[in-house]
Amino acid sequence: MKPKIFIDGREGTTGLQLYDRLRGRRDIELLPISDEKRKDVSGRKKLINSADLVFLCLPDDAAREAVSLIENDRIRVLDASTAHRVADGWVYGLPELSEKQRDSIRGGKRVANPGCHATGAIMLLAPLVEEKLIPQDYPLVITSITGYTGGGKKMIAEYETSDRKERWDLDAPRLYSTGAFHKHIPEITRYSRLKRAPAFTPVVSDYPQGLQVIIPLHLPDKRQEAYNILSARYSGMANIDVKNDSPPYAASNVNADTDKTTLRVLGYDDVMILTAQLNNLGKGASGAAVQNMNLMLGFPEYDGLIL
C-alpha cells in the first residue's frame, strides 16, 4: 500500500514547490485539501490524522498548532518551519551530518527540515569543528546571499511587480534582519558544535533562486587540510561537490536549478574563505524535504531530486 502524504500549508512557497515535486510520483498517495478547507482546523485535523507522513509548510506558530492536532501515534511529521529545529524530541533533517544522523532521520517520527542559510553554514563548519581545525569558540562571521524567493510570496510579489521602476532599492543587494537575532543562528550554533554563536548577516538580492554562504577565516596554512576534511566527509554523496579551485567569480545562483550543493575552499595569503552554493528552494527547502521523506519512507535517498 502506498504511504499517504498530506502537505499542510501547500499554498506557501515551500508547499507549492513540494507539491510540484511530489504530485507526479507513483510511490506515494497525496491527500488533497480544497481551498475552502485549508484554513479549517477540523478539516486539516482529519487529513493530518489520516496520513502516514505530514509535511508542515507553515509559519512557526501554525506548525506547533498542527502538531497539537495529531491524535494518531503512528503519524510521522516533517516540519519545514523554524519551530522545531532545536526542539527536544525532534531529529534535525540534515543527513549529510553523519551516517548516525541519516539513520536517525530514517527512524524518526518528528523530523525538522533545516533552514536554507543554516544548511550551507553547517555543512561547511561541522566537519571542520569536529576535526578541531576550527576552534569551537572561534569568532565566526558569516554572510549569506540569497535570491528573493526565500522571502516568500510577499517578497516575490515585491520584486516581480510591474511598477518596479518605483522601487529603486530593489535593484541592489539588501541586508535584512538588521539589528535582530536571525532565526537560523540557533541551529547553526548547535549542529556545528559551536560554543559561541556566529555573527550572521543575511542579504537578499535581485535574482530569484540560489544562495551562497560565505565564511572568511584567519587560519594560516589550513586551506589544504580543510579541503581534505570536507572532501573525505562528503565523498560518495551525489548531491555534494567539494572544490578548492579559484574561479574568477563564484555566483550565488550557480545551483539555482538543482538540488546540488557546491562547497568551496578559497583564499589568499593567511585567509581562508569557505563558501557553500545551493538552491534556497531546493536543498534549502523542498529538495531537502523530499530527501528526508525518502529516508523516512525507505525510498532511495535521491529519488525526485535534480542532480
Active site members:
116
Which residue do the cell numbers 563548519 mark?
125
Strand order, beta sheet including 271-278: 174-175, 199-205, 141-147, 211-218, 271-278, 261-268, 240-243
HEC profile for 119-152? HHHHHHHHHHHHCCCCCCCCCCEEEEEEEHHHHH
User: Which grid coordinates belong to 163?
Assistant: 511598477
Kindly state the helix (H) or strand (E) to which residue 218 belongs, with its residue range: strand 211-218
Strand order, beta sheet including 110-112: 29-30, 4-8, 53-56, 76-79, 110-112, 91-92
Q: Tell me the helix, strand and coil percentages in the chain, rounded to 5.
A: 35, 20, 45
Find out whether 276 and 123 touch, Cβ atoms under 8 Å.
yes
Using CA atoms, how far apart are residues 212 and 116, in angstroms rounded to an integer?
Answer: 10
Nearest to 278 by CA among 115, 140, 153: 115
Which residue do the cell numbers 515535486 mark?
21
